[in-house]
Structure 1
């Protein structure tokens, strides 16, 4: 009797095709975590290199890591830094230039004041003229008695030399704006020529400015005349002495740079 060959039953193998998508999913998850880590480090260059590497590995059209446009490139970052640096340098240069111009202006004002003070002392005019330099202007104050007869705006013939002397000093600094202003006391004018102190102060400023501008080296565009009447007193109008101080003509040489580091104030002579 033939022995029948006994065969062990074959084991049934389970379907393992699910491993492929599972492995792909794990790979994508790993890539995602690597990308998130790279983004947290904010290293755009490394992130770009990593993105290119993964896009090469997963050649399925546009790569899943194509986020280059979301981050600034090194080239753009370098350009921004360069522009910022240039702006800082330009601002520093402008500030330095402005400081130098303000320094030169201060020297100009001090030089002109010194010349005026010397002229006043040499001609015995200390009771009629004075100068004052502050942060906004250099002011020459001239008493009305040094220039005009009472109630008149016509400059005395003997006083024209004073205007000529001032104009000769001003011509050394032709770029500065000059304001000539007329002032009176508060006593109402009482003559047929002028209806008010406004009119008198206006004519006095204008007439004196015209004598200054007889100097052809001065630019009329830089000059302005104005009238303040009785409304800008520098002393009390209660006393005759105070009223005499208020009757005046002022020649103001205006600064262009009022932000000098220190305000220079010179005592009134």
Structure 2
């Protein structure tokens, strides 16, 4: 009986130290990708470079932050910023409103300066809009009278065209000192003076009647609470208020917009 040869299966050799090849292949693959990207960006493109930089930084666990240039634009305090960005939009509109009213005041002041009348008018911007304050009753009216003086007509002639061009609503508000006069009452005196100014703006200045209203406040809203002749002159006044057409949420931010504007100047 012939002896059968038994075929014996020789096991494959296994070396533990060959596992480095897997990591080596991964590294080669990553290098290949890197070179492909670098080749694709051989023409410098700032936007693509920034995207690549941010992507690589994120991949290595680094958060990219960018600096904000506060030299221009509007800086919104944290209390005004909301998730839906309404705070940013409202303050931006308030800043635009302030710039618009500042430009109007400058236009009027230039026209008054030509006539040498700029000292008779004061300008003030607040939540309501731009207040053009006609100071001193004797500059605009005779004592205890509602008749406009020739100087008053010159002032009104200078400022009315600028106001007409705004297409905004206008409130003419009369004020009086808390003194006994020959007029029946300070309420009637202040109201009639405001009416005379409004009538001039409509009838002589071309301001549409639907855009203007006249109100008399008597002595209830004094500009000065003193008792000197200078204080009384400040309280005998007519205010022409060019009203803001922005919603209340925007108008409430006008004081902050004024501070931001003052900080830049």
SS state of the match for residue 217, structure 2? Answer: strand
Deviations 1:9-62 (A, max 9, x none): xxxxxxxxxxxxxxxxxxxxxxxxxxxxxxxxxxxxxxxxxxxxxxxxxxxxxx
The answer for the alignment partner of 2:164 in structure 1 is 171
Distance in 2 separating the partners of 1:102 and 1:128: 28
Match of 1:148 among 141, 147, 150: 141
Distance in 2 of aligned mates of 1:186 and 1:226: 17
In 2, Cα distance between equivalents of 1:221 and 1:100:
29
Query: What residue is the counterpart of 1:228 in the other structure?
Result: 217
1:204–1:249 Cα contact (<8 Å) kept: yes
Structure 1 or 2, whichever has the larger Rg, is: 1
- 1:239 pairs, out of 220, 224, 228, with 228
- Determine the C-alpha separation between the residues in 2 that align with 1:160 and 1:153: 13
C-alpha spacing 1:216/1:199, structure 2 compared with 1 (3 Å): closer
Deviation, 1:95, is 7.9
Equivalenced residue count is 173
TM-score, length basis structure 2: 0.57
Match of 2:130 among 127, 138, 144: 138
Deviations 1:132-153 (A, max 9, x none): 1123311111122221100100
Please say if residues 198 and 227 of structure 1, whose CA atoms lie closer than 8 Å, have aligned partners that are also in contact: yes
Distance in 1 separating the partners of 2:108 and 2:187: 28
Q: Which residue in the other structure is 1:206 paired with?
A: 195
SS of equivalent to 1:181: strand
Q: Quick one: structure 1 residues 93 and 241, their matched pair in 2 at CA, closer, same or farther if it must change by over 3 Å?
A: closer
Is the 1:108–1:173 Cα contact (8 Å) retained in structure 2?
no
Aligned to 1:125: 117
Aligned to 1:72: none
- Residues 170-212 of structure 1 show CA distances to partners (whole Å, capped at 9, x for unaligned) of 12211x111101111111112xxx3101111011000011001
Structure 2 SS opposite 1:160? helix
Which residue is equivalent to 1:253? 242
Cα contact 1:189–1:196 (8 A) shared by 2: yes
CA RMSD of aligned residues (A): 2.8
How many Å separate the matches in 2 of 1:161 and 1:216? 12
Looking at structure 2, the residues matched to 178 and 164 of structure 1 have their Cα atoms a distance apart, in angstroms, of 16
Distance in 2 of aligned mates of 1:125 and 1:264: 26
In structure 2, runs of 5+ residues without a counterpart are 1-82
Q: Deviations over 1:185-243 (max 9, x none)?
A: 111112xxx31011110110000110011257522112110001111111134111111
Unmatched 5+ stretches in structure 1: 1-90
CA distance in structure 2 between the aligned counterparts of 1:235 and 1:136, rounded to whole angstroms: 20
Match of 1:181 in 2: 173
Asked whether the 8 Å contact 1:189–1:195 carries over to 2, the reply is yes
Does residue 263 in structure 1 map to residue 251 in structure 2?
A: no
Deviation at 1:116, TM superposition (A): 1.8
Matched, 1:115 2:107: yes
CA 1:125/1:99 → structure 2, altered by over 3 Å: closer, same or farther?
same
SS of alignment partner, residue 144 of structure 2: coil
